[in-house]
Amino acid sequence: MSKSTHLFSSSLGKKLIMSLTGLFLCTFLIVHLIGNLQLFYDDQGKAFNDYAHFMTHFTPIRIVSYLLYASIVIHAVYALVLTINNRKARPVRYAAYEGSANSAWSSRNMGLLGTVLLVFIVTHMSNFWWKYHNDGVPYIEYRTDLTTQETTATELVGEEYTDYVKYVDNDIEILKAKDLYKQVQFTFQNWVLVAFYVIAMAALSFHLIHGFKSAFQTLGFDHQKYAPIIRFIGIWLFGVAIPIGFAAMPIYFYFFN
Amino acid sequence: MLDSKVPAGPLAEKWSKHKFNLKLVNPANKRKYTIIVVGTGLAGSSAAASLAELGYNVKAFCYQDSPRRAHSIAAQGGINAAKNYQNDGDSVYRLFYDTIKGGDYRAREANVYRLAEVSVNIIDQCVAQGVPFAREYGGLLDNRSFGGAQVSRTFYARGQTGQQLLLGAYSALNRQINKGKVTMYNRHEMLDLVTIDGHARGIITRNMVTGAIESHEGHAVLLCTGGYGNVFFLSTNAMGCNVTAAWRAHKRGAFFGNPCYTQIHPTCIPVTGDHQSKLTLMSESLRNDGRVWVPKTVELAQKLRKGEIKISDIKEADRDYYLERKYPSFGNLVPRDVASRNAKEVVDEGRGVGASGIAVFLDFEDAIKRLGEDTVRAKYGNLFDMYYQITDENPYKQPMRIYPAVHYTMGGLWVDYNLMTTVPGLYALGECNFSDHGANRLGASALMQGLADGYFVIPYTVGDYLAGLGFDPVDKNHPNFEKTRKEVEDNVRKLLSLKGSKTVDDIHKKLGHIMWEYCGMARNEVGLTKAKGLIQELRKEFWSDVTVLGENEEMNQSLEKAGRVADFLELGELMVDDALNRRESCGGHFREESQTEEGEAKRDDKNFRYVAAWEYKGENQPEVLHKEPLEFENVKLTQRSYK
Amino acid sequence: MSGNMNLTLKVWRQKNDKTRGKFITYQANNISPDMSFLEMLDVVNEELVRKGEDPIHFDHDCREGICGMCSLHINGRPHGPKQGTTTCQLHMRSFHDGQTIVIEPWRAAAFPVIKDLAVDRSAFDRIQQAGGYINVNTGGVPDANSIPIPKVIADEAFESATCISCGACVAACKNASAMLFVSAKISQYALLPQGQTERYSRAQAMVAQMDAEGFGSCTNTGACEAECPVGIKLTNIARMNREYLTAKLFKEEEPH
């Protein structure tokens, strides 16, 4: 019994990587959703824009964001490698295959769902992340009277202003930041994109209903005491609450804003 | 002329003394010997693994696609051992006594005592290998009682004891394969034995995937090839179980012992129709809690069969629990032969149940009331499920229907105390030999014997033979290898040339009918004589009118079957000869001419207290009977009574 | 007989692993619902032999659901439409008159076709040979009752040990993964006190051999568990993952 292979070249090691990157991406979703809920504030986007600046400029968060990008890439690459290997494991396909008799649709189509999500991530990042980082987003100025809490917003046109500032002067809080909120409003006027976002969130739901509990199974966490809790979180938080929360945003902006 | 080589001295010391007297092979010299093991059931796997551990080179063969699939895997109920963990009065001597008595005094005392003696080591060995036996809440091993015994000495793993024991032996075998000490040949069938100067020196096999006919040489050959119950076509054996290896060895000089001793197991699922390919056993352990009954009257039974009344309409007073009635002290736990014969009797009276009327009830209603359905499920769940699947009847709601079926063959190659056949260097282990069960085997004793032979007997006795051989490798260029291989090839070619109108199964089914009718649960002079003629005719029909398709150089299941049935046809005749010769009833062999007034088997110790060992004399020559007298120095021969 | 059925069979025929196979259609007439699936094939084969055609080859032996030799992918599912049964225990009452039944061999790179519906599953043997045992020699072992094992542990080890090695898990898995099979053996010994000494090297050796045989990896679809004729649980795979990761990340292979 001396034969053994390096952890990450084994099938179980590759699964471990899928599991860890997947779970990391799940934690990101929670943060991302909570932050983006600020889109629903009726403050002309002030809190959201301020938050967007914080998220892109606070160093620890920036480090985490690079980990995140890496996770997405690794998760996708390993998924591809595993899928290719799995296909090789059955060179002749069945003429009749009743997958639905023994397993859930989502569990058999993680690759398809993941591909939809990858396309979504690319679209999503080019809509917002790319524009935000490449000066495709104009600045806005908020003046808030701290005694009355009334805010007035003024768009800063063109390249007139390019610096984030936040200070208080004579009980007036002045905030100048990139107006990502406006970009959101603008993007979600396009019904094609709205539809795609909603479909992608449905894909996310199915991906996570299987993926979340699957990640724990791969890690070996399987105990009758907490397995039901994992299943519950997987379905209701990651399969229902989070995708609905995200999908609500394009719908809200298209129909109500 | 037949020397059983049973050592002298008191019964309890024979094996210890014998082990000391056996010659040893120096550890450094063991690697100079190659041992061939044919069959990888309990006896074969355990022998191959144990011999390889000692340092011998082992070549192991099985016809299945994996050694783990040998039919030992299907044994359900358990394995006996005289551990006396239950403090209920068990001992090595009691297990010995029960086995001798259960075998109706037709087994060799010394062998049986040794079996009982090493039984305790088997359990230790299996537990050390990780066999998950049933346990009590305190963590210690659980036991249950089994037919023919009044103590609880049966160790079990739910209804899959054979499976767990075989997987244990298979794991030990795997370990040696991994170490390179065992070379495993799956999907290989032994088709002949090679002898040089009268000693077994190799075998001829057919690779069942490529058709290659190959020679393998070894210093000793161990046949662990199981029983020949499939001569009856329908039996609880696996479809592939066959007598070919043993029969070819017989034709090369190994005497065949007591071929007529067949065990008909009382608790099998009844036959449903002509399409039936095999019979399924329901473990005898079911008789611990199930009660066997039929309606008291023929009229009631008829109404039930026609569906005019339901089972529940039959009142308690109208049910005949015939085993409990006739054998109050053993009740439903009488030995298998007694239970089977009684089932046949009530069915013959017209009191059978089920659509065919060829079945009796095994009822769990009382057990479920007493223990609760959950307890019954925990004990027998898998058996109940299996029954449900096959019959579409729920045994938790209505009684099972059972009927006897051919299950085990006590007869087999004659071996001496060292398990060597009459061909030097050729050994037979497990069900393949005739040695330990006499005329009837007790439940949970087959697993015990297979493992005793493989783990604890052959590793000692084979050394004694090898030590006298010298260290020369077997000469694989000896002309006998080529000669035997050619004979096998010719036989294969002859089979493939058969292009008649009958299928091999047609002939096999006919043979089965003849055997069941005339050489089954009850036998008589007239029937047996008739059977002999019928079998001879059938053999002619086989060689003139059967069809065998395909070619040798591929997987060819027609060819495999044909070769096996050809040998069964020859064996069948010998079984009939043996049954004709034994004009007494004993154990599973019931001669209608020899019964007590109550219809129980009546032995004739004066004339038949011997092992019948048959010598092959050539094609169409009558076989010659040799007798090994059975001496009973420790038990008194009595009429078996389970009343 | 009334209630008997006529069926159309589409059966995969392939001479050997070097030739290409194809489906051939056969009629199975007058099939009793009390026949097992294999007995139905026996009937078809008897007719083929009478016509001088090569019978359909399939693996089978005990025909009581325990040896694991029978296989067959029937209408898209290993061992056919009923859960918890092997093909030999599948009875024709699970089908209806006039039905078309598609019969294929197990499909996996690690299970090459030998002929027709019979495949080579020796990869399973090699995985067991890599470490599916406890290193004890015959004789010289302690008394069986010297190692008390809690009943729940013994029962759970038994549940894992009941695997019949038929390969339905591989056949059912969309990735042709063998993890249910491998994990069952690893679990049995990981649970029992007797298996502790080689617990971690065993997990590594068996997983390495599994990968070398060309099985796919697990995506936790649960198809294996659903199709397993003896009910081996996915819990075993979680346990194997635990054993393997613990071995790789926390256990020294050699003392130092």
| Interface chains of chain C (3 or more CB pairs under 8 Å) | A, B
pLDDT at A2: 42
Count of beta carbons in the 10 Å neighbourhood of residue B275: 18
Domain extent, residue A161, equals 138-178
Residue with tokens 């030992």: B72
Q: Is the confidence at residue C254, as pLDDT, over 70?
A: no
Is there a domain that residue A99 lies in? no
Active site annotation includes B201: no
Q: Which of A124, A148, A178 is the last residue of a domain?
A: A178
Domain boundaries, chain B: 265-407, 482-616
Give the torsion sign (CA, B453, B454, B457, B458): positive
A82, A188: one domain: yes
pLDDT at A3: 46
What's the ipTM? Answer: 0.97
Number of domains in chain C: 2
Confidence of residue C142 (pLDDT cuts 50, 70, 90): very high
A166, A47: one domain: no
Nearest of B536, B537, B562, B538 to residue B548 by alpha carbon: B562
Q: Which residues lie below 8 Å from residue A23, measured CB to CB, with a gap of 6+?
A: A212, A215
Is there a domain that residue C256 lies in? no
Chain B nearest C-alpha distance from C166 (Å): 10
Q: Which residues lie below 8 Å from residue A163, measured CB to CB, with a gap of 6+?
A: A176
A73, A174: one domain: no
The two most distant CA atoms of chain A are separated, in Å, by 77
C137, C34: one domain: no
Strands B34-38 and B220-223: parallel
Confidence of residue C256 (pLDDT cuts 50, 70, 90): low
CB B281 within 8 A of CB B265: yes
Question: Within a 13 Å sphere around the CA of B589, how many CA atoms are in the beta-carbon half?
Answer: 31
Residue with tokens 């796997």: B45
Nearest of B259, B261, B240, B241 to residue B250 by alpha carbon: B259
Contact C109/A219, CB-based, under 8 Å?
no
Interface of B with C in 267-326 (CB under 8 A): 272-273, 275-278, 280-281
Number of domains in chain A: 2
A43, A164: one domain: no
Q: What tens digit of pLDDT does each residue of B458-482 get?
A: 999 999 999 999 999 999 999 999 9
The CATH number that applies at residue C185 is: 1.10.1060.10
Q: Is the confidence at residue C255, as pLDDT, over 60?
A: no
Residues of chain A with pLDDT under 70: 1-5, 158-160
Q: Which residues of B are less than 8 Å from C41 in CB distance?
A: none
A210, A157: one domain: no
A249, A149: one domain: no
CB B442 within 8 A of CB B335: yes
Option in C110, C204, C227 nearest A102 (CB): C227
C144, C159: one domain: yes
Strands B57-61 and B182-185: parallel
Is there a domain that residue A98 lies in? no
C131, C231: one domain: yes
A68, A143: one domain: no
A151, A229: one domain: no
Alpha-carbon span A56 to C7, nearest angstrom: 67
CB B36 within 8 A of CB B216: yes
Chain C nearest C-alpha distance from B172 (Å): 6
Q: Which residues of A are less than 8 Å from C130 in CB distance?
A: 1, 3
**Whether domain B265-407 has CATH 3.90.700.10:** yes
Report the C-alpha dihedral over residues C234, C240, C242, C246, rounded to 10 degrees: 180
Q: Which amino acid is at A169?
A: D
Is there a domain that residue A54 lies in? yes
pLDDT at A160: 64
CA angle B232, B233, B239 (to 5 degrees): 125
pLDDT at B113: 98
Q: Of residues B336, B341, B485, B523, which has the active-site annotation?
A: B336
C104, C138: one domain: no
A133, A233: one domain: yes
Q: Which amino acid is at B272?
A: T
Residues of chain B with pLDDT under 50: none
Alpha-carbon span A22 to B551, nearest angstrom: 56
pLDDT at A7: 84
The CATH number that applies at residue C13 is: 3.10.20.30
C90, C164: one domain: no
CB A120 within 8 A of CB A196: yes
Which residue of C43, C51, C62 is the best one to mutate when testing the B interface, meaning the one whose CB has the most B CBs within 10 A?
C62
Alpha-carbon span B438 to B262, nearest angstrom: 10
Q: What is the 3-state secondary structure (H, E, C) of B256-278?
A: EECCCCEEEEEEECCCCCCCCCC
Taking CA atoms, what residue in C is nearest to B180? C129
Q: Which of A178, A208, A232 is the last residue of a domain?
A: A178
Beta bridge partners of B58: B35, B182
Architecture of domain B482-616: Up-down Bundle (1.20)
Domain extent, residue C240, equals 122-250
A234, A204: one domain: yes
Is there a domain that residue A121 lies in? yes
Taking CA atoms, what residue in C is nearest to B127? C144
CA dist list (Å): C13 to A90, B394, B538, C19, C103: 18, 38, 33, 10, 10
